[in-house]
Chains A and B, each alone.
Chain A
Amino acid sequence: MIRIQARTEPSSLMKVLSPVLAIVLTLIFGSILFTAIGKSPSQALHVLLIAPLADSYNIGEMFVKMAPLLLCAVGLSLCYRANMWNIGAEGQLLAGALGGSAMALYFIDSDSVFALPITLLAGMVSGMLWSAIPTFLKLHFNSNLILTTIMFNYIALYLLIWAVHGPLRDPDGYGFPESAMFSDATMLPTLFESSRTHLGIVFAVLAGVVGWFILSKTHLGFQIRVFGADEPAARYAGFSGKKLSWFVMLFAGALAGLAGIGETSGPIGQLVPNVSPGYGYSAIIVAYLGRLHPIGAILAAAFMAVLYMGGDLAQIEMGIPVAVVSMFQGVLLFFLLACDFFINNRLSFTNQATN
C-alpha cells in the first residue's frame, strides 16, 4: 500500500526536480491534447519547443521575449521570498512604459547621449512609484497587498490607454492611438546585426545575477530568507520587516518598470496601447518555475519565451490555435504546484499483506 508521509526535512532534490517533472508532465498533457485534435504530437511539440530555436534570428527573438519576463520575475522572486505577495508586476511594467515613454517623447528631437539613460531611469522610477503606493498602503494602512496590486494593474492599464489616446498621441499620426516613433537617441541599441535583440536582455541577466548576489551573499538577503521562512524568528532577531518590504517591493518595481520602458524603447519603438501581452502575470509563473531563485528565473524565462514564440509558429505552420500557449502555461503551473507537494512529503510503500 502507498501512503503519504511528511518528510522531516524538505527535499532539496525535489526542489530542483519538481520543475523538470512538471515540464515533462505538461509535454505529456500536450501530446494527448494534440492527438485529440488530430495533429501529430511529435510535430506539434517540435514546432512549439524546438523550431523557435532553429536559427539565429529566432534565438535573437527569444532574447527579446525573455527580457521583460526575466526582469519582472527576478523582482517577484525576491518579493515572494520575503512574503510580499506582489501580483502587480504587470501594472509596474505598464507604469514604467508610460513614464519612460513620456520622457522619450520629451527627448524626441534630441541626440543627447543622456537621453537614453534618463529615459530608462524615468521608466524605473515610474515602476517604483507604482509598487511604492501598494507597499505604503500595506505597511501603514494594513491593506491586502494581493488585492491592491491587482487594482493597480488595472489603474495603470487605463492610465496608459488614456495617455496614448490623449496627451501622448502622435500629433501627426492621423489621430490613431499611438505615440510618435521615438528618436534613435532614446532607443535601446540592438546587439547584433539584423536582429531585434537589444540591451534589455543584458540588463535582465544582470538583474538575475544581482538578485542572486543580494539573496545569497549579503546580510540583506539573509534577512529576506529568514523573514520568508520564519517571520516571528526574524522579528525576534531584530530584523525590520518594514525595511525589507520596502526594499523588495521597490527593487521589483524598478525592474518591472525597466521591463516596460525596455519594450517601448526596444522592439516597439513607440508607445502603443498593447505594450504587454501579460508579461507581468506570466512572470509569476516564471518566478515559481525558477524556484524563486534569480538564476533559476533565467532558465525559466528562456523556457517561457520559447513557449510564446512556439505558439505563433504553431499557428503559422500547423494551424494550431494560439490559445494552447496559455493552456500550457496554466497546466505547467498546476503540475509544478502539485509536484512541489513532494518537497515536504514523500510516498512510503508499506507491506500490508498481513492485514
Chain B
Amino acid sequence: MKLKSLLVSLGLLAGASLVHAEDPFKVGFVYVGPVGDLGWSYEHDMGRKGLEEYFGDKVETTFVENVPEGADAERVITQLAKSGNDMIFTTSFGFMNPTVKVAKRFPNVTFEHATGYKLSKNLGTYVLRTYEGRYISGVTAGMMTKTDTIGYIGSFPIPEVIRDINAVYMGAKSVNPDVKIKIVWANTWYDPGKETDAANALMDQGVDILLQHTDSPAPLIAAEKRGLRGIGQASDQSKFAPKAHIFSVRDDWSPYYIKQVQAVMDGTWEPKDFWGGFQDDMLTLASINSNLPADVRAKIDETHDKIKSGEFKPFTGPITDNKGNLVVPANHSLTDVELAKVNWYVEGITDEIPR
C-alpha cells in the first residue's frame, strides 16, 4: 500500500517535471469585474502579474474579466480548463457552484476559489483577513472623527462584511468611547454612482470619516469634495483623494498565488481553506497620508505591528453582541471556522443586520 502510493507520487512528480520542461505551467484567472475597477479585480490582476514576474517563462497566465455570476461562468471556467490551464483561480463568491461543478469534471486541474466555503479534492478556497485592516481603520477613524460619527458603506450583509463592521467599531471604540457608526447598504460591490449617493447620504448625516466595503474610489472622491476623510479599499486609492485619503488597506494576492502555484508544481498542493492577513503580507497599509497628526500616525503603526506580530487578535473575548448575548467568551479568539459564521453586531452598534 505504502509502496504503491510512493510509486504513484513518484510517477506524478516525474510527470509534473516532464510537463514544465516542455511547456510553461498555465494558470487561468476569472474576474467578476473589469481589471480596471481599481479595487477587487484590479488587485487580483496585480496578483496575476506578480505571479508572472516571479516565475518568468515558467508560467503562462490568461484572464477573463467581466464574467457574470450566472449560467455563463461555468462555460468560461470550462473553457479555461479545456484550453490547457493547469490551475484556475476563480475570484468571486458567485463563482462557487460553477467552480465546484467544473472541478469535478476536470480532476487533473487544480482550482482555487476566493471567499467561498466549498472544498473538494482539487478545489481549495482562500480569503483575506480583511477584519485586521478594518480594526486599524476603526482605531484611526475613532481618533480622527470630530463628530464622533463614522460611516460604513456596506455591500451585502454577508459574514465578511458584518465581521469587518464589527472590527471597525471595536477599533474605534477602543480609542473613543463616544463613537457611533452609521451603516448604509449599497447592495453592490461596484457602482460608482450608487457609492457616491451612499457616501453623500452618510456625510449629510454628520459622518466625517468614511469607510467602505465597495470597491470604487467614488466615496473617497466624494469625501475629498466635501473636505472630509476616508480610507481606501482593496487597492491604493490615494491618487483619487490626495487630501481626504487617510490610508488604503491594500489586498496583495501575489504571495498567495506564487505559493500555491509553486505547491502544484512541486506536487505538494492540498485543498485548504486558507486565511491570509498582515502576517502573510497579503494585507498592507498603503500610502499613509503625511498630513495625519503624529499621535494618530503612532497609533496606526502600533496597532499594525501588534496585529502583524500576532500579539493581538481583534476578535478576542469577552465580546457581547448588541442583543446582550456573550458571543465570544473571555480569553478565546475566534477560530477561522467561527469567523466565517459571524452574524451578529457587537454591543454598541444600534443597527440591525438586514434579513
Contact = CB atoms under 8 A, between A and B. Distances in A.
Q: Do A and B come from one complex?
A: yes
A178 B94 contact: yes
Interface in B53-105: 62, 64-66, 68-72, 74-76, 78-80, 82-83, 93-94, 97, 105
Interface stretch (A109-117, A269-277, A295-303): A269-277
Interface in A294-349: 309, 312-313, 315-317, 322
B64 A316 contact: yes
B158 interface: yes
Contact of B79 (A174, A176, A268, A313): A313
A187 to B, nearest CB: 12
A194 B75 contact: no
Contacts of A177: 156
A10 interface: no
A227 to B, nearest CB: 36
Contact of B159 (A64, A161, A175, A181): A175
B83 to A, nearest CB: 6
A322 B69 CA distance: 15
Nearest to A169: B355
A176 B158 contact: yes
A315 B66 CA distance: 10
B119 interface: no
B97 A270 contact: yes
A196 B69 contact: no
Contact of A64 (B62, B71, B80, B340): B71
A165 interface: yes
Interface residues of A, number: 33
A61 B65 contact: no
Given A174-B158, A174-B341, A316-B79, A274 B68 contact: yes
A174 B117 CA distance: 9
A57 B71 contact: no
Given A175-B156, A272-B70, A61 B75 contact: yes
Interface string A226-237: 000000000000
Interface in B88-133: 93-94, 97, 105, 117
A176 B156 contact: yes
B68 A277 contact: yes
B97 A57 contact: no
A263 B75 CA distance: 14
Contacts of A178: 94
A315 B75 contact: no
B200 interface: no
B346 to A, nearest CB: 17
Contact of B82 (A57, A263, A273): A57
Scoring B75, B93, B117 by chain A CB atoms within 10 A of each residue's CB, the highest score goes to B75
B49 to A, nearest CB: 14
Interface string B159-186: 1001000000000000000000000000
Interface in B3-51: none
A53 to B, nearest CB: 13
Contacts of A315: 64-65
A263 B79 contact: no
B70 to A, nearest CB: 4
Contacts of B117: 174
A274 B69 contact: yes
A267 B72 CA distance: 9
A269 B355 contact: no
Given A176-B158, A274-B68, A274-B69, A312 B343 contact: no
Interface string A146-173: 0000000000000001000110000000
Given A57-B82, A174-B117, A316-B83, A276 B65 contact: no
Contacts of B94: 176, 178, 272, 274
Nearest to B343: A175
A121 B60 CA distance: 48
Contacts of B62: 316
B72 A277 contact: yes
Nearest to A262: B71
Contacts of A161: 187
Given A174-B158, A175-B156, A313-B79, A267 B71 contact: yes
B75 A269 contact: no
Scoring A178, A263, A276, A316 by chain B CB atoms within 10 A of each residue's CB, the highest score goes to A316
A266 B70 CA distance: 11
Contacts of B341: 174
Given A166-B355, A268-B71, A174 B80 contact: no
B75 A175 contact: no
A181 B157 CA distance: 20
Nearest to B85: A316
Contacts of A174: 117, 158-159, 340-341
Contacts of B343: 175
A181 B97 contact: yes
Contacts of A181: 97
A4 to B, nearest CB: 43
A277 B68 CA distance: 8
A335 B347 CA distance: 63
Nearest to A275: B70
B66 A165 contact: no
Contacts of B78: 57
A267 B97 CA distance: 11
Given A57-B78, A275-B70, A316-B62, 6 more contacts: A174-B117, A174-B159, A263-B71, A277-B68, A313-B79, A316-B83
Interface of A: 57, 61, 64, 161, 165-166, 174-178, 181, 194, 196, 263, 266-270, 272-277, 309, 312-313, 315-317, 322
5 contacts: A61-B75, A165-B156, A174-B159, A176-B93, A309-B75
Interchain residue pairs A-B with the least CB separation, the first 8:
A274-B70, A267-B71, A175-B158, A274-B68, A268-B71, A274-B69, A176-B158, A61-B75
